[in-house]
Amino acid sequence: MECDDIGAWMFESSPDCVKLLDLDGRLLRMNRNGLCLMELESFGSLEGAPWSALWPAESRNTVAAAVAAARRGEVSRFRAPCATAQGTEKWWDVTVSAVRQGGAISHLLSVSRDVTELVKAIDASEQAREVAEQATRAKSVFVANLSHEIRTPLNAIVGLAQLLGASDLRPADQAQLAKIRQAGQHLLALIDDVLDLSKVETGRLTLNERDFDLKDVLDRVTGMLGDKARERGIALEVTVAPKVPTRVFGDPARLCQVLLNYTANALRFTDAGRIAIDIRLAARDDDSVLLHFDVIDSGRGLSEAEIERLFADFSQARQPVQGGSGLGLAICKRLARLMGGDVGVESEPGLGSRFWFTARLRERATDGTALAEFAEPPAVLAGKRILLVDDDDLNREVVQQLLEMAGSRVHTATNGREALDTLARGSYDAVLMDLFMPVMGGLEAMRLLRQHAAWQHLPVIAMSANVRPSDRAACAEAGASDFVAKPMDVGKLWSVLAHWTSRPVGGAAPAGHGDEFFAATIPGLLKP
């Protein structure tokens, strides 16, 4: 077969639409597959016609540029739509190159591949991705709004239960009240699980790091679960290895969350025996320690199949469901990795389980200055003038009574405008400001408040059931000194107020809650 015959054979046998053009871009020839792809009966009507005439107007400049490039000896490629002779819309990947004879460019060659199905698949994928992203964004907004709506009445329930607990009640009433508090805390934990998963999915799960005492975290875990363990005759033991530092820098709430989840799961699946929480030092470098936490139970154990399902969203090891949202272990996995560690489990049916996780924390001196939580109202709050701003009557009543228990003198307002008017008529040591109120919200009120020189250094603590990093960032931008989440922990509320009302007026804010609050906004601001 001669070279010319080989070229002709390749031209005709190509599965693509191949066209031979003159140097002006006019059609000279098209292969048989090209006629089929273009839904043409014959080439005769196209011979000598400008190739660009086959293309829609919006693509003709691209075609002309490709022809010009090929005349210069360059290879040009583009993707564009072009209808067939029967009006069928198709997409084409086109390559245009020069044909040389005797070293000189004599013709141009166009090879067009039908990529219609590929383009449709890409478009469908892009549309699906956009729909998924919109759904994720919508879900995030929905979860945040739902959280706010649930947390607001829950704040009143938990707060009133705390107030009742401080009064003289019969033992039977105290027992019923304890159940109300327990139910409220359980509901709050479920809400937090769903919120945490939403943060994980959108990349907004962050750490709120500060100095803390590891013993406080362990005391909280045993305090919350110790009674339940004793009621079931299960020993709850804690062992801390000698080399484990007492004071560390990290997120105590997230660390406690993982330990609580592990220990609560152990209680759920242990009928008798013991549950041991063991902490040891896994590694140490110049400024941080890697701590290893074990939660060991003498319960029913897990099979290999059950272990494989652990740490996945909405997954529980055993059926039927024995309580919980099915999110706890999945969130524990994310939290441990966020803290520079990992998770794992070792178990056999009938022999109990050992759930472990690691976390990297920075070591601190034992005389650290982290603000302690108050078991009793701090004396510094006695006589302090506090302006409480909240549109919800029940929430306002609960917080007012909590502040008055500490000896504070409380004035109230129901919106931001009313708060500014009240501030103009008197002197206050601090302001507690809700964010979402009629007439004027808390953010706008804080911005206006900070414009007045007399109120530049007035402590303003934002209150909200919305606890996302973006919410904290918005408060910081508006001029908030600190942030407390609803439902409020009375010790946290007193602690924050004691911190801010004890600092010198106009002086620099000491390290503590303020630094913690503003540091917590930074990771959220850096997220896309």
pLDDT-derived band at 504, boundaries 50, 70, 90: low
Average pLDDT over residues 32-43: 89
Q: How far is CA 234 from CA 130, 267, 301, 330, in A?
A: 51, 8, 16, 26
- pLDDT per residue as tens digits for the range 293-327: 999 998 888 888 787 777 655 444 444 444 444 55
Helix H, strand E, coil C: the string for 199-259 is HHHCCCCCCCCEEEEHHHHHHHHHHHHHHHHHHCCEEEEEEECCCCCCEEEECHHHHHHHH
Token pair in block for residue 94: 């086109």
What the chain holds in terms of domains, given with CATH numbers, is: 3-114 (3.30.450.20), 132-201 (1.10.287.130), 212-363 (3.30.565.10), 379-526 (3.40.50.2300)
The structure's pTM equals 0.43
**Among 246-255, 333-342, 374-383, the least confident range:** 374-383
Q: DSSP assignment, residue 73?
A: T
Cα dihedral 281, 282, 285, 290 sign: negative
- pLDDT per residue as tens digits for the range 55-69: 999 999 999 999 999
Q: DSSP assignment, residue 317?
A: S
Average pLDDT over residues 106-126: 91
Which residues have C-beta within 8 Å of that of residue 461, sequence separation ≥ 6?
Answer: 430, 431, 432, 433, 480, 481, 482, 483, 484, 496, 497, 500
- 460-464 and 430-434: which strand pairing? parallel
The whole-chain average pLDDT of the chain stands at 82
pLDDT-derived band at 328, boundaries 50, 70, 90: confident
Q: H helices then E strands: how many in the chain?
A: 15, 17
Q: How far is CA 329 from CA 69, 242, 290, 310, 314, in A?
A: 60, 28, 20, 7, 9
Q: DSSP assignment, residue 26?
A: B
Average pLDDT over residues 94-104: 90
CA-CA distance, 53 to 38, in Å (whole number)?
14
Query: What is the pLDDT at residue 64?
Result: 94
Query: What is the pLDDT at residue 192?
Result: 72
* Residue, of 320 and 439, whose pLDDT is higher: 439
Query: What is the pLDDT at residue 468?
Result: 67
Which residues have C-beta within 8 Å of that of residue 264, sequence separation ≥ 6?
Answer: 225, 328
Dihedral (Cα; 210, 214, 215, 219), 10-degree rounding:
80
Query: What is the pLDDT at residue 227?
Result: 86
* Residue, of 285 and 508, whose pLDDT is higher: 285
- pLDDT per residue as tens digits for the range 200-245: 666 667 777 888 889 989 988 888 888 889 989 999 999 999 889 9
Query: What is the pLDDT at residue 6?
Result: 54
Residue 408, pLDDT > 50, answer yes
**Among 175-179, 373-377, 389-393, 478-482, the least confident range:** 373-377
- Give which of 206, 522, 209 is closest to 362, Cα–Cα: 209
Cα dihedral 331, 337, 339, 344 sign: positive
Q: How far is CA 409 from CA 161, 420, 505, in A?
A: 22, 18, 19
